[in-house]
Amino acid sequence: MTVAGMAPREFLTDRLMLGLVALVALVLGMPSLKPLFATLYPGLDRPLYEAESFVRLTLDHMALVGVSSLAAILLGGGAGIAVTRPWGREFRGLLETVATMGQTFPPVAVLALAVPVMGFGSEPALIALTLYALLPVVENTVAGLDGVPAPVLDSARGLGMGPAEVLFRVELPLAAPVILAGVRTAVIINVGTAAIASTVGAKTLGLPIIVGLNGSNQAYVIQGALIVAALAVVIDAGFDRLAGWLTRWSQR
Amino acid sequence: MIEFERVTKRFGSWTAVDAVSFTVAEGEFRVLIGPSGSGKSTVLRMINRLIPADEGAIRIDGEDIASLKPEELRRRMGYVIQSVGLFPHWTVERNIATVPGLLGWPRARIRDRVTELLELLNLDPRRYRSAYPHQLSGGQQQRVGVARALAAEPRILLMDEPFSALDPITRASLQTELSAIHRRTGTTVVFVTHDMDEALRLGDSIAVMDHGRLIQCASPLDILTRPASPLVRDLVGREEWGLKRLAVETVGDRARRQESTTGEPLAAETPLHRALSEMVARGTERLPVVDGDGRPAGVLHLSDLVRPDAGGTA
Ligand SMILES: Nc1ncnc2c1ncn2[C@@H]1O[C@H](COP(=O)(O)OP(=O)(O)OP(=O)(O)O)[C@@H](O)[C@H]1O
Ligand SMILES: [Mg+2]
């Protein structure tokens, strides 16, 4: 699907396309907005954040969100599957408690606790974000698998599917929409939390925001926040698209 | 052939199945009936090892099922449940193809088999092959459930109250189809129900369970005429006993072979209660009977229906 191939109306109502265009324009075009910010904030010496390029910050931000979300999906999804198997059932309460605790911690506290152990940089951020994304993934994996109707499972086993066949052909496809909703929540939360991770030295889009807040430079704050917002819109719209595909795929 | 030898199953301290022994012969249609909680489903689910037995032995064709891989055992049997349990994310075709797919049949063979089964169960393949379960009525879903169970030509068909959620008309037509399929394929069937009319209509033999025990295992006629306990008598019910009694015998069983008469003939396999209904409807006391090939097979008289030597009374 190319931009050129779309009718104007179709393009204007496509959240994903609009978001992508806005994101790319903001990331690449921020330097050319320097005169605008200079006019808006005449009192500032440096109206544009230039210590790092926005391209670099955006890519790092996305990498941090991507890696931590992937880790959360693998860990949380795996744990969610494990505690819904006969052999893992007894750990279900424990897992749910741990995942809930992970989320009741404020992100800043998790970051602050991780620093003494791991030092400054993106490692503590990665840990904090992964822990943070775990709950929605675990919760929705368990809920999704629980939601598979008992007669469907009974038939699947009764017709001679083995445990792996029941899981991959019946349970996961039927639970997929619910699991995906959990992943979506996790990723969106992480886009925001990754910004806060700049406080422990991870270079993300939070950096201009933190620097701006410390130095009373509102222009920096706005520049960082705008891109974070555009990124969140793109990811959210991307998940909408994915949910649509998934429905069609699981019915094949 | 299915053999149970003093099979017991406990859930905690509750004995759901208590030292049950029985044999289902090759090609037999066996109905399990009994009050709710009497252990019918447990017995059925022990045959395909969805529930493991605590004590005793279960043998299929002489082979102890404990020595077989559960998945392989189950793929050799069809399994149908009341709530159908079709896979909602798969088309009718893929649902029916489940077991052949697991067994690795070639695509073309699976496709032909699906077409054959849809036709067998009176579902137009062009219309329903690619439909999803939620697009079907309850009766159509249950037809697909039966087709799915029959797909890999199992020697044994296990059915747990398969038709009890259906309206009486749909249920009756599915019962007729199942009877025809059973006659044609010679599959051994174990069928759970708590509807005695359904049991009398379908079963070659009926096993009555109560509190995990097998109370009586006998032909429909013996269940009606020689109930082993008050419970069996209650399950049969006193109401319309006479009609049920007539329903388990056919016109051919009682017709006077040497005689002949005129009029629209009845087939020899028509149940006697139908014949009675015909007599009332036509205002006659004699009906001509024809055999399976349409040749005259005698005459049935109204008095033959109450012939005292042909079985007992309530
Ligand atoms: N998984 C289980 N755990 C504990 N008890 C069970 C389990 N399955 C069955 N039971 C008990 O065993 C008894 C027999 O159950 P079963 O399902 O075989 O009855 P049923 O004859 O099929 O009844 P219905 O006609 O209501 O289906 C019941 O008392 C039931 O509560
Ligand atoms: Mg039952």
Pairwise CA distance, residues A48 & A223, whole Å: 8
Q: Given this model, what pLDDT does residue B14 score?
A: 94
**What pLDDT, on the 0 to 100 scale, is given for residue A6?**
66
Cα dihedral angle (B60, B63, B69, B75), rounded to 10 degrees?
Answer: -30
How far is ligand 2, taken at its centre, from the CA of residue B17, in Å?
12
pTM for this entry = 0.86
Are B61 and B68 within 8 A, CB to CB?
no
Q: How far is A193 from chain B (nearest CA, A)?
A: 36
Q: How many of the other CB atoms lie within 10 Å of CB of A7?
A: 8
Give every residue of chain B whose pLDDT is below 50, as ranges: 311-314
Cα distances from B288 to residues B178, B261, B296, in angstroms, run 28, 6, 7
ipTM above 0.90, yes or no: no
Instruction: Give the residues of chain A that fall short of pLDDT 50.
Output: 1
The encoded tokens of residue A53 equal: 């390029």
Predicted local confidence at residue A244, as pLDDT: 87
| A156 at interface of B, judged by CB pairs closer than 8 A | yes
Structure token pair of residue A74: 């693998």
* DSSP string computed for A25-82: HHHHHGGGGHHHHHHH-TT-S--S--SS-HHHHHHHHHHHHHHHHHHHHHHHHHHHHH
Report yes or no: B229 and B189 within 8 Å, Cβ to Cβ: no
Confidence (pLDDT) at A248: 77
How confident is the model at residue B309, as a pLDDT? 58
**Among B11, B18, B195, B211, which residue has the most ligand 1 atoms within 8 Å of its CB, making it the best to mutate?**
B11
* CB B33 within 8 Å of CB B194: yes
Beta strands in chain A (DSSP E): none
Domains annotated on chain A, with CATH:
53-249 (1.10.3720.10)
How much is the pLDDT for A1?
46
C-beta of residue A186 within 8 angstroms of C-beta of residue A74? no
Give the Cα separation of A69 and A73 in Å (integer): 6
Domains in chain B: ranges and CATH: 2-240 (3.40.50.300), 249-305 (3.90.1280.20)
All residues at 6 or more sequence positions from B28 whose CB lies less than 8 Å from its CB, including other chains: B188, B189, B204, B205
- Identify which of B70, B85, B89 has the shortest CB distance to residue A155: B85
Count of Cβ atoms closer than 10 Å to residue A80 Cβ: 28
Closest Cβ opposite residue B102 in set A153, A154, A161: A161
Check residue A252 and give its pLDDT.
58
CA of residue B216 to ligand 1 center, whole Å:
20
Task: State whether the beta carbon of B40 lies less than 6 angstroms from ligand 1.
Answer: yes
- What is the model's pLDDT at position B213? 96
Q: Is B193 in the pocket of ligand 1 (CB under 6 A)?
A: no
